[in-house]
Amino acid sequence: MLLGQYPYTNFEERINYELKEEYGTSSRKEVAKIMIDDLEMSSEDEAKKLFLQEILSLEKRSNDID
């Protein structure tokens, strides 16, 4: 992945950018609330699916950094 694809200069700015793109905010607290609300409104199977999707998404982002 090319650094020029994102408007950031360091790792923290990249995370902020990706959170803003995905959740509409870069506030960790707000993102956590959104994720918790999504899980609370989901059935148990949906909650597991959402959790696994989020873990895979975070893993992919981590791999993209390397």
- Which range of residues forms the domain containing residue 52? 3-65
Structure tokens at 49: 């699916």
Q: Could you say which residues of the chain have pLDDT below 50?
A: 1-3
As for how many domains the chain has, the answer is 1
Q: What is the pLDDT of residues 8-26, one digit of tens each?
A: 677 788 888 888 888 898 8
Alpha-helical (H) ranges within 1-66 are 11-23, 28-40, 44-65
Residue located via tokens 């902020």: 16
pLDDT at res. 22: 87
pLDDT score, position 45: 78
φ and ψ at 2, to 5 degrees? -85, 140
HSE-CB at 16 with a 13 A cutoff on CA atoms is 8
Q: Give ∠ CA 10-53-58 in degrees, rounded to 5.
A: 20
